[in-house]
Structure 1
């Protein structure tokens, strides 16, 4: 189609021609590799789904080049050299299937994790260029690699690339002078204190990535493409401390000038493309941008990088909005290819939907990390909050039902909308009832802030799908128990959501008390001095919203840390919220509970029973939600096939609501 012509122009990386300019960004396939270091059936289906969806180039998640010097538990990530025959068998089959759709595929080769290796993945002590603290547990010091071990890493990189070529991969990408992984640690003076040939001045620190590309070219030939995952700037303020956009701080990692200096050196060494981004584990919200980061956040950096290198520039950074991707390529100032990561987890058919002229059908990533990185930290396989079939495409697909049923869905939040959508795709006759005048539930107030615009995109996607599927939606219709009993529904799905938990303290009914929903939807006026009771994710986000609106905000939390209870907040999101709270001068009072609401103030009490008064024109209650399960409790056991999903079952998050609904509706 004319609107997105640039996205679908072919491009060459080295001598490999790619059918369009849409790449799948490399993302670790945690839980999808085999114990012998290959691709499981789930991993194969996962990559093939993105090839079938029209992606031009797939860059796989990281595969370790070895598992002896830096030993991981077997099965943590793929590894070509662990069992080359098994790797070529499982990955070779993946490559064959991907190629059937005209898609090219590069294997990402990881030189190591170094100081950022998670203790639960490691067997033994972490390693690094020098004896520096482990990121996750700073009390643990990494063992400095010997010169011989570093030389062995170069040999293993070449051996892994040779195996990749034999398996049929079209190229490799080196992981990475990027994000503070082991190879990046060698290039950054903060982490590399070596005195041998792999340390010292800039060229000494660049020796390892230069030797790696030269060794790969020697075994695979000059024409075999080798791309480089490359972070232009680290955003490291200090050990385990990142810097926000607009924050004034001294860069202790790689600054922009150094990034622009070393890129041409690495290109001259033989790298055929730069897969460019920014960030580090210390500032993980740059390398794995949450919902709070802007779409296209790397463009100001990659525009500078493009001026100093000639190799194709592949860029990521929440650039999964088709219009933004096309505009970036049309301008030609910051990218030659677009790298889509979590956007392809959310919707593997991203490319085909753009090509078909229906970008409104693309299911958006909401930057929550709950289904991808969040699950990885919990030891669960890779998936996606808004796409439960991600990572299990074959076994968890939506099939057509053998018998058409009449399905009654009560509640129009994300759980109800997802249940209605999936049940309709199954072929059932669905009626969706919502007691208010609009669909969306808690996502409505969760979409009003500028930094939550992706939630609004998800809500709009659901409304579009419901309309296109012709689902019968009845707004302003509150369902009573007798309505259910009198209906002819074969299946009743209760998705009535949740209601705020309110503390039982004096003054809680005062006019200056509001819920987070009240203030976000501007249902109540908010004074200058605001105290938010509750330091969970919703409370912190509400505090940010109010502070950005010019309010003086204090958060009161009864636990020793913010966002420390309930469903874990994924690491990148959590540390960015904490840094944003500091940036916006939001005061935080921990280990304290609300005791009384007064006129213009509140009393709190800490764990030592010391009372304190805090000025408050407005008190915002955000201590959690509880299921609105009255209807379900009234009808369960009185009519058959009744189910409660989402917050009506247990108040959690968007992912839980969607996953509940998908699991139930696909089985009806």
Structure 2
């Protein structure tokens, strides 16, 4: 291990519980030991996930939020005694590794509950809502401190939570925490004044308009969180550790409109002056640790930072708040080990919180200890597998029920939280396998086959691996994408049964001497049948630097790629304009709201021109003509025009019994569809 990281591997204490190192596996939705959407139970998949990471040298594990009352069925956690009996021997296994584990409990989501497109019609129909109540009580799930607009569904007003409901929840925290203690759990964490969830909505002025003892004054707004910790301590003893998940700053300018890094703005949520007071107040109430970052669902990119957010994006704010408390403070949010170690050594924070990197590579801490940093598969902050809750105009949460139920999976690592579906087994009869195409789909296919024992030859017609992902990784803010490409380039050299042939174009797959052929030749850009289309620059050509652009650039296509190009151009000091036929930017499922809302907020704040429900008519020298929804034509000045209107599959080979098409060559998607499809095919060969 490098000396740089030594501070990360020193012991520390939360109350009287000693943690062996300063690396905290932070909670992620979908990783609850008690299940997530389904009725509560001891979740063996999550248990296996955490045990593997415990064996790989993490110090403290905090599984994902466990709703104190089931989303489906409405059962309270403390009512399932069997679940806690199963938890006890599991805790013995965790402790055998030297790790500690806290269970995170949540009172609920309130207006931040991710009501889906599938559930929204049920909630809006009074009759169906009543009929469904014993199974899914949407009014209870949406219950907020005051009548508030739902974050995910336009036109839905959340009902006000009653005092008896609050009292039930407080009592349930105490009963559940006691069962956790009796099962050997080292402490509990209250998902409280954090991320705009229910207890945070009680704490903030812009979401709490109550006139009873839970609203109005500072003390009343924080009363719910204070009553919970006091009830837990009364049930479990003053020395039983209780952590609180805490957002230092809300970073909110308005409902559904967040503040960007470095922006000067008026905070309508928790500002630093109140946060300094609140952190001390919560400590004095009995909380033993602050597990801290920033943001709410109205500024979700602070709590779930996409690749556009700076590395260590919450460190300065969290380090500031540590000055006002005596309890340990953990900082999360794109934390890098070198920055975290330095901050710990200086006493600015006590531990480094990491979440999604543990999904991508469960052994990354071990690799750091063994000085194998280059072997760590990096998380690229895409949220495609772990949290792809999408939201755009006309939709609530556009995530499918299957994805909602199965969060915390990983686009880059299919085995994460899916160990029964995706696993490598040795091939019964090793085969000669040819993989055509050295993009992500081709490289992943080659690696899966090689690990299973097949003899693999990977053919790539260019002089480097990566395919179209080289273009995706080109912008300045895609440093983790470039690290992923470097990881693949190293990984394919580790297997003696995997041969890579660069600069080798395969024109006739049938001529290859192979038992099985995997075609991963990607996709081709869609062309637009408009006058002057030849003057346009394809997105991939811009991203790879093949075609320079001027200062005034019109991007045709407001999907994810088009928006990222506009963002990249703005960062370069150019003047982008986006033209999109749909009624919103990034109007697709599969792209997390944390990612899409950052870009939408960025364009809104920086007044980047966006023309929605607008089609391209013609490209001319110096301008483009577009047509608005109402039929009006408009001319936009343009030194350059970038076309980002999608791709179509471009498979090389025809169908055949021994020909398998993967990645975008089969169906255009994202890294998740590309990588998971490669496994679907290659596990069976």
TM-score by length of 2: 0.91
Q: Is the 8 A contact 1:370 1:385 kept in 2?
A: yes
**How far is the alpha carbon of 1:30 from its aligned partner?**
6.8
**How far is the alpha carbon of 1:41 from its aligned partner?**
2.4
Structure 2 match to 1:159: 175
Structure 2 match to 1:73: 72
Structure 1's 137 and 21: CA in aligned 2 closer, same or farther, altered over 3 A? Answer: same
Deviation string 1:361-392 (CA, Å, 9 cap, x unpaired) is 11111111110111693222120111111112
Structure 1's 339 and 394: CA in aligned 2 closer, same or farther, altered over 3 A? Answer: farther
Structure 2 match to 1:84: 80
Alignment of 1:146-545 (within 5 A): 146-319=162-335, 321-333=336-348, 335-374=349-388, 377-379=399-401, 380=403, 381-382=406-407, 383-470=409-496, 471-481=498-508, 484-510=509-535, 513-545=536-568
Distance 1:243 1:95 in 2: 41
**How far is the alpha carbon of 1:151 from its aligned partner?**
2.4
**SS of the residue 1:276 aligns to:** strand
Distance 2:310 2:382 in 1: 14
Deviation string 1:391-435 (CA, Å, 9 cap, x unpaired) is 123552222222221111111111111111111111121111111
Distance 1:5 1:580 in 2: 38
**SS of the residue 1:469 aligns to:** coil
Q: Is the 8 A contact 1:594 1:603 kept in 2?
A: yes
Structure 1's 616 and 2: CA in aligned 2 closer, same or farther, altered over 3 A? Answer: closer
**How far is the alpha carbon of 1:152 from its aligned partner?**
2.5
Distance 2:205 2:69 in 1: 25
Deviation string 1:329-353 (CA, Å, 9 cap, x unpaired) is 33332x2111110110111112111
Q: Is the 8 A contact 2:31 2:46 kept in 1?
A: no
Deviation string 1:208-250 (CA, Å, 9 cap, x unpaired) is 2222111111111112110000000001101121111122221
Please, what is the CA RMSD of the aligned residues? 2.0
Distance 1:195 1:589 in 2: 43
Matched residues, number: 649
Deviation string 1:438-471 (CA, Å, 9 cap, x unpaired) is 1111111111212211111111111121123343
Deviation string 1:55-104 (CA, Å, 9 cap, x unpaired) is 1111011112235xxxx2249xx9522x3213213433543332332221
**How far is the alpha carbon of 1:514 from its aligned partner?**
0.7
Q: For structure 1, which runs of at least 5 residues remain unmatched after alignment?
A: none
Structure 1 match to 2:653: 632
Deviation string 1:516-535 (CA, Å, 9 cap, x unpaired) is 11222221121122111111
TM-score by length of 1: 0.93
Deviation string 1:9-44 (CA, Å, 9 cap, x unpaired) is 222211111222111111121795484312322222
Which of 623, 645, 669 matches 1:601?
Answer: 623
Which of 578, 582, 590 matches 1:568?
Answer: 590
Distance 1:93 1:632 in 2: 53
Structure 1's 582 and 156: CA in aligned 2 closer, same or farther, altered over 3 A? Answer: same
Structure 1's 254 and 526: CA in aligned 2 closer, same or farther, altered over 3 A? Answer: same
Q: For structure 2, which runs of at least 5 residues remain unmatched after alignment?
A: 120-135, 390-396
Structure 1 match to 2:23: 22
Q: Is the 8 A contact 2:626 2:635 kept in 1?
A: yes
Structure 2 match to 1:57: 60
Q: Is the 8 A contact 2:36 2:67 kept in 1?
A: no
Structure 2 match to 1:113: 109
Structure 1 match to 2:132: none
